[in-house]
Amino acid sequence: MILVVADDLSGAAELAGIAFAHGLTAEVQTELQPRTEAQVICLDTDTRRLEPEAAAAGLRKLARRIKAAAPEFIFKKTDSVLRGNIGAELGVLLEITARVRAIFVPANPSRGRTIRGGEYWIGNTPLHKTDFARDPQHPSTTATVAVRLGNDPAITIPDATTEVDVLTAARACDDLVLPAGAGDFFAALLETRGHAAMPAEITTAAGPALFVCGSLTAWGRGRSSQCETHGVPVCAMPAELFGQSEHPAALHAWVRSACAAMGEHGAVMLAIGRMKAVERAPLLEARLAQAMAMVLAQMDVARLLLEGGATASAALRRLKWSRLSAVDLAAVDLPGLRMAEDGPRVFIKPGSYDWPDSVWPGEEN
């Protein structure tokens, strides 16, 4: 069994998709359950939004269970644009796995995200000059990866501008190394261990779809206009629900409008609907998840599409789903996940990437 330790749910889902695309059975778990027939477990520790000390403490609590699971190897999935408590979490995992050093490759050259001269670039722009400089929780203040991680000498950060660079880094990983980083690096590690990528069979859109977006990044990238292009109505959170008061009447009216839109169009997006940082983000995500659960209870939903790790985590907590199996692919790194045979297929992705064409209504075979 291969164990992926991710700090948010969208990252765990992304790597489950990559594993599935390499011919491996994969599960996304929010609580470590190593007694499984799955060849890959992608565990969401939900530590990205914690303070570094709390994130480290959370991983230490998992240490005994990780050791007891005796995985073939452990991969630390981090955010591809360096958000979260990366240095603290890598330090803990090095400690509990008795690895001498980590090789850290957060670059995704397949998506134009590279490391050159130790600096992180998105296309031709250094990280700290992109929109991620204004991230409300983890603003990028430097493009120098080592500085972002606290200049830890136990963490090696190779340049990675091409697929060959990433593969070279993967080949340098032995039993004394903790590999960490983004999806391209994980895929390269699977290749070096004999798990070749399989011809991808992409499953296109079919059945009523409920999109759920709580990601400020996604909203800033124009998700509302993309929905309009694809004929998906957007039902944004009413202003009354942005405060601490519950306003049940506003919640029920919001859900009714979403159900009506889905009944008419076969798809709808529930969204927080703000581009600027908001106070009480966990409260708003919980209300978004509550509205989602109410729509699911009233409508026949075949596909549930969750955008943003925090949004997805709140949604699965609301549904009490802690273990989902990869059953198909909407893209190489976007698996269709399922809790039960009669449940909806669940798709989870980071807010910083767009939905592939395959998920939008009107893209059926």
314 near 285, Cβ under 8 Å?
yes
What local confidence, expressed as pLDDT, does residue 336 receive? 94
What local confidence, expressed as pLDDT, does residue 321 receive? 94
**pLDDT tens string 7-40:** 999 999 999 999 999 999 999 999 999 989 999 9
Q: pLDDT grade, residue 333 (50/70/90)? A: confident
Give pTM, 2 decimals: 0.90
Q: Which fold has domain 209-359?
A: Molybdenum Cofactor Biosythetic Enzyme; Chain A (3.40.980)
What local confidence, expressed as pLDDT, does residue 135 receive? 81
Average pLDDT of the residues in 316-344: 90
Average pLDDT of the residues in 137-158: 94
CATH topology identical between 2-192 and 209-359: no
What local confidence, expressed as pLDDT, does residue 277 receive? 57
Average pLDDT of the residues in 331-358: 88
What local confidence, expressed as pLDDT, does residue 243 receive? 87
Q: Answer yes or no: is pLDDT of 155 > 50.
A: yes
For the residues of 135-180, what is the DSSP string, one character each?
A: -SSS----SBHHHHTT--TTEE---BSSHHHHHHHHHT--TTEEEE
Residue 242: which of 212, 272, 275, 270 has the closest Cα? 272
Q: pLDDT grade, residue 88 (50/70/90)? A: very high
Q: Answer yes or no: is pLDDT of 107 > 90.
A: yes
Average pLDDT of the residues in 117-144: 93
Q: pLDDT grade, residue 279 (50/70/90)? A: low
What local confidence, expressed as pLDDT, does residue 202 receive? 86
* Average pLDDT over all residues of the chain: 92
What local confidence, expressed as pLDDT, does residue 131 receive? 87
What local confidence, expressed as pLDDT, does residue 365 receive? 40
Find all residues with CB under 8 Å of 307, minimum gap 6, and list them.
Answer: 10, 211, 212, 213, 214, 215, 218, 223, 348, 349, 350, 351, 355
Show me where the domains of the chain are located: 2-192, 209-359
- DSSP run (H or E) holding 325: strand 323-331
Q: pLDDT grade, residue 104 (50/70/90)? A: very high
Average pLDDT of the residues in 87-104: 95
**pLDDT tens string 161-186:** 999 999 999 999 999 999 999 999 99
Q: Which fold has domain 2-192?
A: Rossmann fold (3.40.50)
Give me the sheet containing 113-116, strands edge to edge: 113-116, 119-122, 125-126
